[in-house]
Homo-oligomer: A and B are copies of this chain.
Amino acid sequence: MTSSIPTAAVLLIGDEILSGRTKDANLGYIADYLTVLGIDLKEARVVSDEQADIVAALNGLRARYTYVFTTGGIGPTHDDITADCVAAAFGVGIDHHPEAVKILRAHWARRDIEENEARMRMARIPDTAELILNSVSQAPGFNIGNVFVMAGVPKIMQAMLDEVAPKLTGGAKMLSRTVPLDLGEGDVAKRLKEIQLAHGGVMIGSYPFEREGRFATNIVVRSRDEAAMNAAADEVAALPVELAGGTSD
């Protein structure tokens, strides 16, 4: 399938997500962000802090999608191995990056933080990578090829994503309209399929929820074509009347 819409994958790195100790908040944020940019997030993975797993996931994803965004594993501790894994995946060396060292030393000096080997690990950047500045805590992420390596702490990741966004080429923005229906999914499923088929380039999703003890459904109509989206959403909004027996009721 060829498409002019850029695609993306997210790779969340860290044992703490898989053990349940940390509840990931980054995937949802990045998903929203990419949707607004018109980039189609196609896949996400969570892997543990093991080099072979990270390298395999990274190489699989970067070959397949326009962009890959990673979060986590770029701090000062022994289990922060993301930079080394990215270097290994790209087959390049890794060393202390002069600009990263300068940024960190200035930050440490301002805050009276002692320079040590562990902290200096945060300046290790794969060869040929460009820094992603971090306005929150200074330790930078980096971009190499189509891979953007960001921190795991949500506030820092979000700041890095803002740094990265101007570098990305988005497609036409995906529009959406949500139509809440006081009907179960099963009541509308057949008609939703028909409405989606009748409007090219429109995707319809249905999301059941409970409200005051009753099941209701949010219908989300998505398209990059505003007129098509509205035409389909109008048909969806008319379903309660239609299913109750038509407008003459």
By a beta-carbon cutoff of 8 Å, the part of chain A in contact with chain B is 15-24, 27-35, 41-48, 53, 75-79, 113-114, 116-119, 121-122, 137, 153, 155, 174, 176, 184-187, 189-190, 192-193, 196, 203, 205-208, 210, 213, 215, 220, 222
Contact = CB atoms under 8 A, between A and B. Distances in A.
Q: How many copies of this chain does one complex carry?
A: 2
A42 to B, nearest CB: 6
Given A118-B186, A208-B153, A19 B41 contact: yes
A102 B18 CA distance: 37
B19 A222 contact: yes
Contacts of A222: 19
Given A16-B207, A78-B189, 4 more contacts: A17-B28, A20-B35, A118-B189, A121-B189
B22 A207 contact: yes
B47 A46 contact: no
B45 A185 contact: no
B44 A46 contact: yes
A236 to B, nearest CB: 12
B76 A21 contact: no
Contacts of A185: 75-77, 118
A103 to B, nearest CB: 14
